[in-house]
Chains A and B, each alone.
Chain A
Amino acid sequence: MKTISFTLLIAVCLTTINCFAQRKWVNITEIGAQLGRIQANSNPDYSNLLGSSSSFAPTPGRYTTLPPNYGVNRNNLSIQTFNGVQLKNSLTPGITLGADWYGNSQFFPVMAALRGDILKKQRRISPYYSVDAGYGFRGFGYGSDLHGGLAWSAGGGLRINTGNKTGLVIGVAYKQQNAVYNTPVDGIYTISQRETRVYNRLALRMGICF
């Protein structure tokens, strides 16, 4: 019994020296921002629809809140947590769960993920890579007109090993989230309106790993 406990203690010690190198189970929880930009609107020609004389013709500008070809930044909150099993220093497969906000939408990505060290030699500050791919589900409280879609991300970061059970991470990643929004229509003059969305964002996150 003593032997087993001792062995376990040794094993725990060995696996807790840093996040990737010494542990079997790895958790990285990060919070940050996803930075993006939109340049909306080719200012569609409404005269094509009902004719300018029609009282139902929409006023230009209602199509989007932006003037034509005017870009704005879109920076939104992003939270994610990675849980994985370390196979070797450079390879920790796992799963990433997140919550991402985008304008007036929200998605919960569930992604298969890989994390791993880029350098073989462990240092106080170690660079790592991250790759994620999966599906972003529609957030709570959004009607069934909104549909989630494929989500993927690739990036890397620096891990500051604090030497004991935890480390701090600073990550940068490119993230893409796909979605579809079916605008409710009257079915009379407008038969369907389907918006396909591709959110391309630069994600900057900070967090802890243990």
Chain B
Amino acid sequence: MKRSLLYFLLLGSVINWSCQDRCQQTRTFRKFTSVKIPIAELRTSFAVEAPREPQEPGKIYVKDNYLFINEIKQGVHVYDNSNPSAPRAMAFLKIPGNVDIAVLDNFLYADTYTDLLVLDITNPATAREVKRVEFATRFGTFARTSWSYNETDQNIYTQKEEILTETAQTDCDGNLSLWPYFAPIWYFGRFYGAFEYGFMSGKSQSFGAVINDGGSSGTGGSMARFTIAKEHLYVVGSSELQDYDLKNRANPVKGSKISLGFGIETIFPYKNQLYIGSQTGMYIYDVTKPEAPEKLSFYQHVRACDPVVVQNDVAYVTLRNNSSFCGGTQNVLDAIDVADPRFPKIIKSYPMTGPYGLGVDGQRIFVCEGKNGLRILDLSRGPSNITQTQEFKNVDAFDVIPLNGTLMLVGQGGLLQYDYSGGKDLKLISKISVKPLF
């Protein structure tokens, strides 16, 4: 009996189980779908919503105790950061198509596809729309997608990005190198191609505060396309510089437009100058007369993909060699003398591993090295004699904003805040986490 059962089992196993390999691949990918948004719908779409966890964070902006994190093409997360060890999510401002913001006094200026939106954020949790400058621009590109406005049918054509998972049968041999292999650039735990990264956020430094002699503005990154200087909002498009007069905060007046040539990407102010990053180099414009910016120089060495911070007439730039789009060939930190903005000249180059963003505060420079950690450099002996004081290998550091003793670090899975006021050691005090991709 036992024996016949065994035979039966053996026979059954051979007959019933086929000898076919069964392999399937589960792939998670981004799907891009074309969508159109009627312009009338866009103009009624602003809303204040309950706070939510960031999923695809973009640029960061700091103003007083408020921390703003852009959700790419969705809106802005607002945090009360008066206590950096416990930032409190206040609200999510739904602004379709938003990528850049700038704040002057109690007014927030945000792009929303074609328009420039002005919000009164006296209390960000009850922000309200006070003005909309219509048709500030008619097309745009950001991160992985682009959009354009069609005047004939009055629709905005853009792309929706979603993360999907699909499964397919495969041949068990892993012949699946489907995609051309990009050199990915990491931001907030998300990856971007080098070209797309050109549009992503940057770093550090209270540029805004330095240059404002009317009102109080916030701190944006060196890769921002919006900046506020001398009660003027400067917006760079792909080929031009647009000026808005903000003397009446609630009613920006469109001013002059300067054509700059191809590939303009970033803008940041320092003293009486605007530093405008393009794909080929860096323009320096004088804004002593804010309504009529005047070109001072064009410095070719620095490109838009290279984060720049300026302090005490010295610009610090990191160049990374693996950003294929920007075509860098070296990994260095450059100190550039910009005391005479008509003739910027290099002071010294310092070798780095593969630097991303950087930040400078007083005697310290913070250089992010991506997966290789964070370097802290000492500036006390001048820009020609920078030495390394500390290196943190165990953090993923992409970007930093050092501000009043708190280091905001865009790290793996979120925005980390460190206390650097006391002595040498960084102390992690809080983390705003980013929703996992899938």
Contacts and interface: CB of A to CB of B under 8 A. Distances in A.
Contacts of A193: 25-28, 176, 178
Given A65-B171, A188-B144, A197 B21 contact: yes
B182 interface: yes
Chain A interface SS verdict (over half)? strand
Interface string B17-60: 11111111111111110100000000000000000000000000
Contacts of A156: 10
20 contacts: A38-B21, A41-B169, A49-B29, A51-B32, A118-B3, A146-B174, A155-B10, A174-B13, A176-B17, A181-B174, A186-B180, A187-B186, A188-B30, A188-B193, A189-B179, A192-B438, A194-B25, A195-B26, A195-B170, A195-B174
A146 B169 CA distance: 18
Contacts of B10: 129, 154-156
Contacts of B1: none
A63 B167 CA distance: 12
Contacts of B168: 41-42, 44, 63
Chain B interface extent, by class: 35 or more
A48 to B, nearest CB: 7
Interface in B170-208: 170-182, 184, 186, 191-193, 196
Interface in A101-129: 102-105, 118-119, 129
A35 B17 CA distance: 13
A79 B308 CA distance: 61
Contacts of B22: 197-198, 200
A36 B19 contact: yes
A201 interface: yes
Nearest to B7: A118
Pairs of residues from A and B, 9 with the lowest C-beta to C-beta distance, nearest first: A187-B191, A40-B171, A44-B168, A195-B25, A64-B171, A197-B23, A191-B28, A103-B173, A186-B182
Nearest to B438: A191
B357 to A, nearest CB: 19
Most chain B CB within a 10 A radius of its CB, from A49, A51, A184, A202 = A49
B340 interface: no
A63 B163 contact: no
A58 B171 contact: no
A4 B31 CA distance: 79
Interface residues of A, number: 58
A197 to B, nearest CB: 4
Nearest to B13: A174
A24 to B, nearest CB: 25
Chain B interface SS verdict (over half)? mixed
Contacts of A74: 21, 172
Nearest to A195: B25
A6 interface: no
Nearest to A65: B175
Given A42-B169, A154-B10, A35 B27 contact: no
A30 B395 CA distance: 51
Given A118-B3, A186-B181, A195 B24 contact: yes
Contacts of A51: 32, 34
B166 A48 contact: yes
Given A38-B172, A66-B171, A191 B437 contact: yes
Interface of B: 3, 6, 9-10, 13-14, 17-32, 34, 144, 163-164, 166, 168-182, 184, 186, 191-193, 196, 437-438
A63 B179 contact: no
Contact of B177 (A35, A184, A201): A184
Interface in A156-210: 156, 172, 174, 176, 181, 183-202
Nearest to B182: A186
A185 B17 CA distance: 34
B27 A192 contact: yes
A140 interface: no
Contacts of A66: 171
A89 B32 CA distance: 65
B182 A188 contact: yes
A181 B179 CA distance: 17
A183 B21 contact: no
Contacts of B438: 191-192
B31 A198 contact: no
A200 B18 contact: yes
Given A129-B6, A189-B30, A183 B176 contact: yes
Most chain A CB within a 10 A radius of its CB, from B13, B18, B176 = B176
A199 B18 CA distance: 10
Given A194-B25, A199-B21, A200-B21, A102 B191 contact: no
B34 to A, nearest CB: 8
A187 B174 CA distance: 18
A200 B169 CA distance: 15
Contacts of A202: 14, 19
B184 A186 contact: yes
A74 to B, nearest CB: 6
A157 to B, nearest CB: 10
Contacts of B144: 188
A142 to B, nearest CB: 10
